[in-house]
Structure 1
Amino acid sequence: ADKYRRCSKKYRLGQNKMWQRAFVVLVLMYVHNADCGIGMLYPRDSESRQTKLLDGIWQFRADTSPTRNQGFDQNWWTTRLSQSGPVIDMPVPSSYNDVTEDKSLRDFVGWVWYDREFYVSSDWATNRRVVLRIDSAHYNAIVWVNGNQVCQHEGGHLPFEGEVGSFLQFNVSNYVTVAVNNTLTPTTLPPGTIQYENDTSKYPPGYFVQNLQMDFFNYAGIHRHVRLYTTPVVYVDDITILTNVENDIGQVNYTVVVAGGVAQAVEVSVLDANNKVVVWSNSLSDVLSISFP
């Protein structure tokens, strides 16, 4: 459950003029029971889903200990960061390197810690999944809500998320903690190496240098949006759409993945530019054909 999941959508657009019109596939689900999913669709508000942005000013601290592990040794995630030591304000999303005038923070390599307070309405307490999503954090990240680990992620350029409903307190204060590490190694993308300087007559204990194998700066931090979102307990987990044209017939080949249960009723409609239904299906996977108008 701590591993991130990827959503992959594939599109192949035909060159026929009929595809100059905008066709949209709408999926409406009424489902129940239990299953597990593999997708990670971008969160949007709808009649069945709500989102809450957690962007803004967060509390922030860099772990400047020689091992960079003081935060884990002292369990910084179990309480607000301000209760375990000094913090500064840090905007999210941003790269922490360029926010202050502190050169040591600009060039910092290792674990940095973020946290912020948030509230959740009691409307989210029943019959909903509540998910915390981070759109990007460079490079390794671990997330806790109210001291409970939600997920961990490796990779600085992709979103990741975890369900948090069981960790939330409704109508009272909650807090989220995120630890981010920008250390680059031969197995990261982009790659890098760590060079330890062991001559204690010249360097302090634990001193190291991050060597980069790229032509750009190693910007780090929470780089994109952080948000909570809800879905029904049984929900659309992933959608794959492929389009094609054969003999002047447009084709929409789609597959819908449902998680948390089995689809009780499904309706998939293709709309034209005037929001009129061109063709529809009640299957989770189908190939819909559209004649040239």
Structure 2
Amino acid sequence: MKFIIFLLVAISALPAKAQSLLIMNVHERDTTSLNGSWKYIIDPYENGFYNYRYEPFDKQENPSWAGYFMDAKPTNKSDLLEYDWDNSPEIKVPGDWNHQEEKFEYYEGSVWYRKTFSYSKEAAENRVFIHFGAVNYEAHVYLNGEKLGVHKGGFTPFQFEVTNLLEEENSLVLMVNNNRHAVDVPTLNTDWWNYGGITRDVLLFEEKPTFIADYMIQLNPRNPKEITGFIQLNGNNLRSKLTLNIPELDINKRFSINEKGRVDFSIIDSDISYWSPDNPKLYTVKLSYRDEILSDQIGFRTIKTDGGSILLNGNKIYLKGISIHEENPYRIGRAYSKQDAELLLGWAKELGCNYVRLAHYPHNEHMIEMANEMGLLVWEEVPVYWTIQWDNEETYQNAEAQLTAMINRDKNSAATIIWSLANETPPSDARNEFLRKLSETARSIDQTRLLSAAMEIHSKAGQPNIKMVEDKLTDYVDLVSFNQYIGWYDGLPSKTQEISFKIPYDKPVIISEFGAGAKKGFHGDSLTRWTEEYQADTYEKNLEMIKEIPNIAGISPWILVDFRSPRRHLAKIQDGWNRKGLLSNAGEKKQAWYVLQNFYENNW
């Protein structure tokens, strides 16, 4: 039996706080791709942005031709202009710049991009937006010489409305800068490659004057038979109705819209087939407003904790995982495509995983889409990494904006079960307050998933073999997740046999990282560093130790594939690569791969 209740106010499982607009599900809209070849100019002194007195050209009332965003051309043979877009070299978008040209490999600084395109709207009254999947790190965006805005954060989407700026022939120019700064998120020091550039899709999409902009459709975490959510319009004409249709569940409900263009709803249905790794069931969900139909593939599941257990759809589950960086080893560069996602997540499935940790920043939308289709649970995370400026309000607002964008983008993903707030951050009062506020923001947007952070362990005074997790952050999260490298940074692999853990929290425990480095093809005994044998022995002994940890609910060892890192300089071993991958940078399996694969086949 089925019945439907329409609610005029948001129920407690839904966002309680208004969010800045991020138009959802762009790839299912009427889009025009701006991917492909773009012109570029390397500008380490930012000569195209500042004059010789270091005054920005785009702040001038009548911007000088010298600003590269003007895309100017000489009007006669005497004009002085020190750039030429038409004769500049080309670079591929999406894609990082570091490995498209040798001169870019270690480059950090500003690069200008330009794309010219023709465009005609389908209808004069329609609105047009431009969507950037991600640009690392700071992007100044201009269309036909007009500044659209600035975005900071290298892994989150952003959009601008360009309806009134479009012409038949258009020039889109970006100044992209990937310099590291102490106030940024992440900060100066990381252990991954600082890939610069327009690293994800660039799309134009066209909409009616009033359209469906945002929605959240999930199960109520307290009632697995109740689909709850909201639908938000954008525009001025809000006097109509909209329809929610899930054909397989025989749901077809028409709703009235409130004065803010929003519908909050609750639907009871007893026939839901729940999404899980064993049954990655996705329903076609159609949202209709006037003559617009927006479609999405959404799975329904619940995730919660009960003491030391994680419950998926009410059943205890162990998270058999692996950590992943957003890199394609075959191409050597930032991963961005559906094919990249199929490669990386296909390896995770082959390894025996039911779960992946997408570290240390929000990964591209294709990773989330493929995880939903393949049945892989997902930990998503923001780059609040190591030591950032905890007392700096600008830094906090940056982190909150990235967290908000990540959650809003992926809030309809059944695969995503964990939002992670940070990685290996040293406790302090300022840090605790920073992460407490982030946790409140996350819960105000989404109460249907778990919160976590990758914490650190320490030893009791005078008792080096007793490992403790004592962190105020555990008050704000649902999981006790921590990284440990016993056998690599902390003693030899045999030390695992001497270790005991004291974790004074009745919450599920996730070992978010452990592992060791190995150069593929380098062999020796199990005590020789960098050999496959040493890495395999570290895995074997850690897995035996981990099984005995109270409340252990999952692991995500570090890491699936060797990845680029400027911190790793050991000649003939690292050569600029972090070698902790179970796969080499050529996609070759190391011995430890088979150790973990066997563990997942025969445990939990």
In the superposition, the TM-score normalised over structure 1's length comes to 0.70
Pairing partner for 2:44 from 45, 64, 67: 64
| Structure 2 counterpart of 1:62, one-letter code | I
Separation in 2 of the partners of 1:262 and 1:272? 28
Pairing partner for 1:261 from 202, 214, 236: 236
**Residue 270 (structure 2) pairs with residue 291 (structure 1):** yes
Q: Which position in structure 2 is the counterpart of 1:5? A: none
Q: Deviations over 1:105-127 (max 9, x none)?
A: 22222211000110102425x11
Aligned length: 226
- Unpaired runs of at least 5, structure 2: 1-12, 14-18, 52-65, 74-80, 257-262, 273-604
Pairing partner for 1:169 from 162, 167, 170: 167
3-state DSSP of counterpart to 1:77: helix
Q: Deviations over 1:196-228 (max 9, x none)?
A: xxxxxxxxxxxxxxxxx1111111100000010
| Structure 1 counterpart of 2:226, one-letter code | Q
Question: 1:250 offset after TM fit, Å?
Answer: 1.2
3-state DSSP of counterpart to 1:44: helix
Greater RCO (Cα-Cα under 8 Å, separation 6 or more): 1
Contact 2:48 2:69 in 1 (8 A): no
Q: Which position in structure 2 is the counterpart of 1:277? A: 250
**Residue 34 (structure 2) pairs with residue 54 (structure 1):** yes
3-state DSSP of counterpart to 1:99: coil
Q: Which position in structure 2 is the counterpart of 1:110? A: 109
Q: Deviations over 1:229-271 (max 9, x none)?
A: 0111111121122313767x71111111112124333233342
The share of aligned pairs that are identical, in percent, is 23
| Structure 1 counterpart of 2:205, one-letter code | Y
3-state DSSP of counterpart to 1:141: strand
Q: Which position in structure 1 is the counterpart of 2:204? A: 228
Contact 2:22 2:159 in 1 (8 A): no
The verdict on how the C-alpha distance between 1:50 and 1:83 changes in structure 2, with shifts beyond 3 A counting, is farther
| Structure 1 counterpart of 2:265, one-letter code | D
Contact 1:37 1:259 in 2 (8 A): no
Question: 1:38 offset after TM fit, Å?
Answer: 2.2
3-state DSSP of counterpart to 1:257: strand
The verdict on how the C-alpha distance between 1:246 and 1:280 changes in structure 2, with shifts beyond 3 A counting, is farther
| Structure 2 counterpart of 1:184, one-letter code | R
Separation in 2 of the partners of 1:183 and 1:245? 42
| Structure 2 counterpart of 1:231, one-letter code | E
The equivalences for 1:104-143 within 5 A come to 105-124=104-123, 126-143=124-141
Separation in 2 of the partners of 1:92 and 1:80? 23
The verdict on how the C-alpha distance between 1:146 and 1:107 changes in structure 2, with shifts beyond 3 A counting, is same
3-state DSSP of counterpart to 2:238: strand
Q: Which position in structure 1 is the counterpart of 2:96? A: 95
The verdict on how the C-alpha distance between 1:122 and 1:130 changes in structure 2, with shifts beyond 3 A counting, is closer
Of Structure 1 and Structure 2, the greater helix share is in 2
The verdict on how the C-alpha distance between 1:277 and 1:185 changes in structure 2, with shifts beyond 3 A counting, is same
Q: Which has the larger radius of gyration?
A: 2
Contact 1:128 1:232 in 2 (8 A): yes
Pairing partner for 1:40 from 12, 23, 26: 23
| Structure 2 counterpart of 1:290, one-letter code | D
| Structure 2 counterpart of 1:129, one-letter code | R
3-state DSSP of counterpart to 2:164: helix
Contact 1:253 1:288 in 2 (8 A): yes
Q: Deviations over 1:75-133 (max 9, x none)?
A: 1101169972462110001111110122xx22222211000110102425x11110011
Separation in 2 of the partners of 1:50 and 1:270? 20
Separation in 2 of the partners of 1:181 and 1:99? 17
| Structure 1 counterpart of 2:192, one-letter code | F
3-state DSSP of counterpart to 1:282: strand
The equivalences for 1:144-183 within 5 A come to 144-170=142-168, 173-183=169-179
Separation in 1 of the partners of 2:255 and 2:161? 29
Contact 2:22 2:158 in 1 (8 A): no
Contact 1:265 1:282 in 2 (8 A): no
The verdict on how the C-alpha distance between 1:253 and 1:215 changes in structure 2, with shifts beyond 3 A counting, is same
- Unpaired runs of at least 5, structure 1: 1-11, 13-35, 193-212
| Structure 2 counterpart of 1:191, one-letter code | T
Separation in 1 of the partners of 2:98 and 2:145? 27
| Structure 1 counterpart of 2:43, one-letter code | D
Separation in 2 of the partners of 1:119 and 1:165? 14
Of Structure 1 and Structure 2, the greater strand share is in 1
